[in-house]
A and B are shown apart, each in its own frame.
Chain A
Amino acid sequence: QQPVQSPQAVILREGEDAVINCSSSKALYSVHWYRQKHGEAPVFLMILLKGGEQKGHDKISASFNEKKQQSSLYLTASQLSYSGTYFCGTVGSSNTGKLIFGQGTTLQVKP
């Protein structure tokens, strides 16, 4: 089951904050966040694991509510380079890396 991301798109001015949400109907073991710019490969941002461990980017934060099967990505003081499409990928068990991606959230940061 594909996770649902919201919002679908957001436009910001430089320096503004944004939150992107990812919600699943299935139990999750981990949530992975990626950013993809047009015509490029997805780039890893964060992993959030069941139990609270996090790995990733020091300028981007995220949360994972295991009980609600939801994750949120927090982009603060946005920069022009933050523009792109953000995807969450969910993993249902610890012994697989099979990612099920959401449909994406397009972020545009304007000067």
Chain B
Amino acid sequence: GAGVSQTPSNKVTEKGKYVELRCDPISGHTALYWYRQSLGQGPEFLIYFQGTGAADDSGLPNDRFFAVRPEGSVSTLKIQRTERGDSAVYLCASSLTPGAGYEQFFGPGTRLTVL
């Protein structure tokens, strides 16, 4: 079956612009996670959803970052007034259900470059 997909694969934008990153999880997976990975670092947790609701958004760095999952499937990560420090690979993952014992399947990521 299809894995987690993310679009676009690459996004180049200018400082101050708004961007949206999309994640399409594995069908039937109720939990969806967003992570951010900088070069040479491990993925950094941003937010996760159970169904349509954000269960934990403690990793969002500031109020310029926002994510939605209106129908409990596709999710969009939105970044306002982008800054050069936002440049990173944004990874999405999904799991059958949220919980410590469930493997997360990662998408290929969106590489965001803020000029």
Contact = CB atoms under 8 A, between A and B. Distances in A.
Interface of B: 4, 31, 33, 35, 40-45, 48, 55-56, 58-59, 91, 95, 98-109
Contacts, number: 81
Nearest to A90: B100
Given A50-B100, A98-B48, A104-B40, 17 more contacts: A29-B100, A30-B101, A44-B103, A44-B104, A49-B100, A87-B43, A89-B43, A93-B100, A94-B100, A95-B98, A96-B98, A97-B99, A98-B33, A98-B59, A99-B104, A102-B42, A104-B41
Contacts of B43: 42, 87, 89, 99, 101
Nearest to B92: A41
B97 to A, nearest CB: 8
15 contacts: A2-B42, A30-B101, A40-B108, A50-B100, A55-B103, A89-B43, A96-B48, A97-B33, A97-B98, A97-B100, A99-B45, A99-B104, A101-B45, A102-B42, A104-B42
Contacts of A53: 101
A94 B108 CA distance: 27
B109 A97 contact: no
If over half of A's interface residues share one DSSP class (helix, strand or loop), that class is named, otherwise mixed; here it is loop
Interface in A18-76: 29-30, 32, 34, 40-44, 47, 49-50, 53, 55-56
If over half of B's interface residues share one DSSP class (helix, strand or loop), that class is named, otherwise mixed; here it is loop
Interface residues of A, number: 31
Given A41-B106, A102-B42, A97 B48 contact: yes
A91 B70 CA distance: 26
Nearest to B98: A97
Nearest to B107: A41
Nearest to B33: A97
